[in-house]
């Protein structure tokens, strides 16, 4: 069957492309399109992420690009991958080329829930009218489907929603926003103060969908960027600690108007806001793009500013030629010496006028190239060219070797002269290396902490357990949490002398006295009233004793025991 394919319009979703194809070819059933362009009848009907893109690309002769290009151009995937490492990109794109996309949500860390055809689609009334004028039909836009977009990024109008009708087999057809068959409903009226915030976040979201980060992904650089933002906002203490309480107060207040809306409620709601600090505390954890968006908006207010700081922080991560490192925190313009400033302006001028490469110009002006690049990037005088650092096979092998031994990342960086982001990249590129390093690092750390502990004991042979607990240098706390068995075997013996002096001596038990008391009590109890379930056993005697000042144990009370045995014999004979 020959099929005519439409042109892919700006920001058009894959689902829209197929719906237009159905219309263009006068095909009645959605399943028929699916069977023609894919190898089964349902692949075409999902409207979030489509599986089998490799089959589609094959059948369409790559008219829309290869599976990866199609996935990036026609789905919301780039939005979800923007703040994720390369490994996640590869995994997600691989899934979209293959026959099942169900695990994709898991890879992206999206909450399980309605998916495929059941999720409502969003559209903007203004965009709909414009599309009909420009293209003759309306289609679903990618940016309207993002979870953090509630007003149109172009028109600022609140989005409308549409539920797709589902047939008897639970499948929807291929519909477009202007179709009568779909059930449309207006969005809820937004409260006034929410609108400007949602407008900002929508614009930011559509930028995140379309624009790459200014430098390759690095958890460390992102962390450093957010720390810089926190510092600018006065949310870091002098010692560099995050003022967590202030942060939570300010962020919940700032986003109060949207704190009940879906997606945002779990980020800026008062119960969740401190979770955002994990972006700087545990940067390697995977976060939803929405969390990054809130941080970018709150700290920088602008995608461009955030990206220039991010680029700067990544430049900071490169090792300096002369071995010294500039202060990691961003120096202000005023700190520049007049001399250096003049040189930098001259350098930027020559570079922008294409008078030579940065390296040659820096040499001419006698400025260290790394210093120059950082200042120029920070001051926004030039666009710093992105240059991946080439790593020789030998250095790479050395890094892998050190990582396999579990060396701390800082130590690997120090020994190899590579930046932590380069090491990060190597770690992510080698299959399983991350996992191997984690395991080995645990052993490495345990060894170090044990050594620390034993050294401490050698240094302070008369130390007590409570001193060990309180000291930061004893390794006690780490071992207590991670290596308790070993710790318990190596603790110094408790100071018994000290305890003997401080605790009152327990008086010795007078067993003879107890025996006499017990015997006297036994002699007055009544053994005639045995319950039906009771046997004539010592326990039956003990149960009938009045309350004594001790709990009687017959094996410690010989006279009482003898008397009970005699009584048992007597009663059994009756």
Residues 87-116 within binding reach of Zn ion (CB under 5 A) = none
Cβ distance to Zn ion smaller for residue 55 or 127: 127
Rounded Cα gap, residues 88 and 369, in angstroms: 34
Distance of alpha carbon 240 from the chain centroid:
22
Cβ distance to Zn ion smaller for residue 152 or 412: 152
**Residue 573 CB-half CA count within 13 A:** 5
Q: Is 404 in the site for Zn ion (CB under 5 A)?
A: no
Closest CA to 39 of 55, 51, 61: 55
Among residues 101, 104, 124, 267, the one that binds Zn ion under rule CB under 5 A: 124
CB 161 within 8 A of CB 185: yes
Beta carbon of residue 154, minimum distance to Zn ion (angstroms, whole number): 4
- Choose the binding region for Zn ion from 121-129, 297-305, 309-317, 483-491 (rule: CB under 5 A): 121-129
In the three-class reduction of DSSP (H, G, I as helix; E, B as strand; rest coil), residue 185 is classed as strand
Cβ distance to Zn ion smaller for residue 79 or 310: 79
Locate 361 and state its tokens. 């110009």
Beta carbon of residue 416, minimum distance to Zn ion (angstroms, whole number): 51
Beta carbon of residue 206, minimum distance to Zn ion (angstroms, whole number): 11
Cβ distance to Zn ion smaller for residue 127 or 367: 127
Q: Is 258 in the site for Zn ion (CB under 5 A)?
A: no
Residues 137-156 within binding reach of Zn ion (CB under 5 A) = 152, 154-155
Among residues 90, 102, 126, 210, the one that binds Zn ion under rule CB under 5 A: 126
Neighbours of 547 (CB within 10 A): 6
Distance of alpha carbon 313 from the chain centroid:
20
163: which strand partners? 183
Cβ distance to Zn ion smaller for residue 64 or 123: 123
Residues 154-183 within binding reach of Zn ion (CB under 5 A) = 154-155
Torsion sign across C-alpha atoms 62, 67, 68, 72: positive
Cβ distance to Zn ion smaller for residue 67 or 153: 153
Beta carbon of residue 130, minimum distance to Zn ion (angstroms, whole number): 7
> What phi and psi values does residue 236 have, to the nearest 5 degrees?
-115, 140
- Choose the binding region for Zn ion from 126-134, 169-177, 194-202, 270-278 (rule: CB under 5 A): 126-134
Per DSSP, 188 falls in state P
Cβ distance to Zn ion smaller for residue 143 or 228: 143
Cβ distance to Zn ion smaller for residue 141 or 378: 141
Rounded Cα gap, residues 416 and 412, in angstroms: 6
Beta carbon of residue 261, minimum distance to Zn ion (angstroms, whole number): 19
In the three-class reduction of DSSP (H, G, I as helix; E, B as strand; rest coil), residue 12 is classed as strand
Beta carbon of residue 46, minimum distance to Zn ion (angstroms, whole number): 24
First to last CA, the chain: 105
Neighbours of 236 (CB within 10 A): 20
Q: Is 59 in the site for Zn ion (CB under 5 A)?
A: no
Cβ distance to Zn ion smaller for residue 155 or 195: 155
Beta carbon of residue 129, minimum distance to Zn ion (angstroms, whole number): 9
Q: Which class for 368: exposed (0-12), middle (13-18), buried (19 or more C-beta within 10 A)?
A: middle
All residues at 6 or more sequence positions from 540 whose CB lies less than 8 Å from its CB, including other chains: 527, 530, 534
Locate 265 and state its tokens. 């409620």
Neighbours of 393 (CB within 10 A): 7
In the three-class reduction of DSSP (H, G, I as helix; E, B as strand; rest coil), residue 158 is classed as strand
Beta carbon of residue 124, minimum distance to Zn ion (angstroms, whole number): 3
Element holding 162 (H helix, E strand): strand 160-163
Rounded Cα gap, residues 487 and 456, in angstroms: 13
Cβ distance to Zn ion smaller for residue 130 or 246: 130
Beta carbon of residue 211, minimum distance to Zn ion (angstroms, whole number): 19
Cβ distance to Zn ion smaller for residue 102 or 210: 210
Among residues 8, 37, 93, 127, the one that binds Zn ion under rule CB under 5 A: 127
Number of residues that bind Zn ion (CB under 5 A): 6
Beta carbon of residue 127, minimum distance to Zn ion (angstroms, whole number): 3
Binding site for Zn ion (CB under 5 A): 124, 126-127, 152, 154-155
């Amino acid at each position: 069957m020959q099929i005519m394919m439409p042109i892919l319009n700006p920001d058009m979703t894959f689902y829209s492309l197929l719906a237009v194809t159905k219309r263009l070819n006068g095909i009645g059933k959605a399943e028929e399109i699916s069977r023609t362009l894919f190898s089964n009848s349902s692949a075409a009907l999902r409207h979030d992420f489509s599986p089998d893109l490799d089959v589609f690309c094959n059948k369409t002769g790559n008219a829309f690009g290869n599976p990866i290009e199609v996935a990036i151009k026609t789905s919301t995937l780039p939005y979800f991958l923007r703040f994720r490492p390369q490994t996640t990109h590869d995994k997600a794109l691989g899934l979209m080329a293959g026959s099942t996309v169900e695990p994709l949500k898991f890879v992206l860390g999206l909450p399980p829930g309605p998916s495929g055809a059941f999720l409502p689609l969003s559209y903007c009334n203004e965009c709909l009218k414009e599309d009909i004028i420009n293209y003759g039909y309306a289609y679903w836009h990618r940016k309207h489907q993002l979870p953090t977009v509630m007003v149109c990024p172009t028109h600022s109008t609140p989005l409308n929603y549409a539920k797709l009708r589902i047939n008897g087999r639970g499948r929807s057809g291929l519909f477009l926003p202007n179709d009568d068959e779909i059930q449309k409903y207006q969005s809820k009226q937004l409260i006034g103060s929410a609108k400007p915030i949602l407008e900002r976040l929508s614009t930011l979201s559509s930028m995140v969908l379309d624009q790459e980060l200014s430098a390759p992904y690095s958890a460390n650089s992102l962390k450093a960027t957010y720390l810089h933002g926190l510092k600018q906002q006065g949310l870091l203490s002098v010692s560099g600690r995050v003022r967590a309480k202030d942060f939570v107060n300010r962020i919940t207040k700032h986003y109060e108007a949207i704190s009940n809306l879906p997606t945002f409620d779990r980020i800026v709601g008062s119960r969740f806001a401190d979770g955002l600090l994990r972006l700087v505390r545990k940067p390697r954890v995977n976060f939803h793009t929405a969390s990054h968006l809130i941080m970018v908006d709150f700290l920088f207010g602008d995608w461009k500013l955030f990206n220039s700081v991010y680029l700067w922080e990544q430049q900071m991560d490169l090792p300096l030629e002369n071995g010294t490192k500039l202060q990691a925190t961003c120096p202000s313009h005023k700190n520049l010496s007049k001399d250096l400033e003049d040189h930098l302006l001259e350098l930027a001028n020559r570079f922008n006028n294409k008078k030579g490469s940065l390296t040659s110009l820096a040499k001419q002006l006698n400025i260290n190239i790394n210093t120059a690049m950082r200042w120029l990037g920070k001051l926004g005088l030039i666009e710093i060219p992105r240059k991946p650092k080439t790593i020789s096979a030998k250095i790479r092998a050395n890094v892998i070797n050190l990582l396999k031994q579990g060396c701390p990342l800082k130590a690997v960086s120090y020994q190899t002269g590579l930046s932590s982001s380069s090491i990060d990249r190597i770690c992510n590129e080698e299959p399983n290396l991350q996992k191997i390093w984690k395991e080995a690092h645990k052993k490495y750390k345990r060894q170090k902490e044990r050594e620390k502990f034993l050294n401490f004991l050698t240094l302070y042979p008369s130390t007590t357990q409570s001193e060990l607990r309180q000291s930061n240098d004893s390794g006690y706390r780490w071992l207590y949490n991670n290596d308790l068995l070993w710790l318990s075997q190596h603790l110094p013996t408790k100071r018994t002398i000290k305890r003997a002096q401080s605790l009152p001596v327990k008086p010795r038990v007078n067993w003879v006295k107890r025996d006499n008391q017990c015997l006297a009590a036994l002699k007055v109890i009544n053994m005639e009233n045995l319950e039906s379930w009771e046997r004539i056993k010592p326990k039956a005697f003990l149960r009938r004793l009045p309350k004594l000042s001790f709990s009687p144990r017959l094996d410690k009370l010989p006279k009482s025991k003898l008397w009970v045995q005699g009584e048992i014999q007597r009663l059994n004979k009756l």
